[in-house]
Amino acid sequence: MNRFMKVMSFVVLLSMVAACGGANETPTTGLTPAEQWAKDNGVGPYQPETDDWAAIEAAAREEGKVTVYANSGGVEDLFEAWEALYPDIELDAQDTDGIDTKMEAEQESGNVIGDIWFNSDGHILFGKFVPNQWMWWFVPRDVTIPELTEDYPFAIARHSTDVIGYNNVFYPDSCPLTNIWQLTEPQYAGKFFMEDPVSDVSTMAKIATFVQNADEMAAAYEALYGKAWTEDELAVADASGMVPEDAGYLWLKKLAYNGVVVLDDGDMVDAAFAGLELPEGEEPGFGWTGYSSYEATLEGELNMMPCFGMEPVMGIFKTSFLGIANNAPHPNAAKLFIRFALSEAGFEPWNEIGSYPAAEGLPIFEDNLPLDELLPQVWEMDPIFDWENVSKVRDFWAAAVLSAP
């Protein structure tokens, strides 16, 4: 079952519960209060076949404001373009930590402040917010997102890429890694840097992708070592008490046992292996970083290059979604913002290396690797798989880190 169908099954199930006389059913309509709100405001499955933008904009002016919770500082670069279009509608937008926690608390308290979810934590959106009817999708009818009907009901603002990066000054010819399993070898002990997945839910969801693609991880192991992953010395129970059930879990265990260095944020990761002030002659190692960091290399601020061509994968392709909160105080202004975010002006702050628009017709940054060359080298995150497996992956990772020699 693809991701779209899984998400829709949540909605169908909740509608069936309401139809059977659930406690939260609105007696006169058979809809839950959330469904009634969505219907009244034309979002989610109740969006009209045609958007009346004149009426939407007039209602948005009456609302006077839209509040956006985003997990990117780029949102703060939108004010000038927004004000030029909608001077009568205040844009309250900033880079916000803990968006899911904040919006969940607002939904549970009934004091909803944030109108827009602008966030890449798709596993939480699809796994918690959709089933609880805390978030609704809205995709302007005049915007085409090719992936939408196949995989996602929510508008996709953009895709971005995390990669395994290396120091291109220390290794001027190419990345010395040809296979991702090399990161677990003794010569690279303590030489791989990443954000701490225990404290960063996005990173934890990303590492779940290696479990999802365990078959390819197994094939890469056998290609490098000439034996099955089950023959590895760590493919058994040990002090951690955790037995890897597939090659993805084995890679996580071996990474933890090889002294992976976890840091607080991406800037610290970049500085650790690609900074300009690293000790001369000391092998700098590698980092899990954003492809966008390569732009800093072009500007002379970092020495980072992605490990293109590494088997079976060199990065993760992630998605930023746009949603409208249930009971949003400014639903029409929220619709305007989504349409704006899917326009060229709305995408401009993210029109950079490593970032790709989802809406058809928007320009792709000229220095980006073409998608037909990038996509075979990355794995796309699957929000439903991540939601269903992230707790298990977190427990396994934490046990491995604590038991690492």
Tens digit of each residue's pLDDT (9 = 90 or more) over 142-184: 999 998 865 678 999 999 999 999 999 999 999 999 999 999 9
Q: Is pLDDT of 310 > 60?
A: yes
Eight-class DSSP state of 332: H
pLDDT for 18 equals 38
| % of the chain residues with pLDDT over 70 | 92
DSSP label of 191: -
Domains of the chain with bracketed CATH = 3-159+317-381 (3.40.190.10), 161-316+386-403 (3.40.190.10)
Q: Check pLDDT > 70 for residue 355.
A: yes
Of 148, 94, 100, give the one whose Cα is nearest residue 123: 100
Which amino acid is present at 236? V
- Answer whether the bond into residue 312 is a cis peptide, omega within 30°: yes
pTM, 2 dp: 0.89
| Residues in Cβ contact with 375 at an 8 Å cutoff, skipping those fewer than 6 apart | 317
- Give the three-class secondary structure for 72: coil
Per residue in 13-44, pLDDT (tens digit) is: 444 333 333 335 555 679 999 999 999 999 99
Residue 67 CA to residue 343 CA, distance in Å, equals 18
**Confidence class of residue 187 from pLDDT cuts 50, 70 and 90?**
very high
Please report the pLDDT score of residue 149 as a whole number: 60
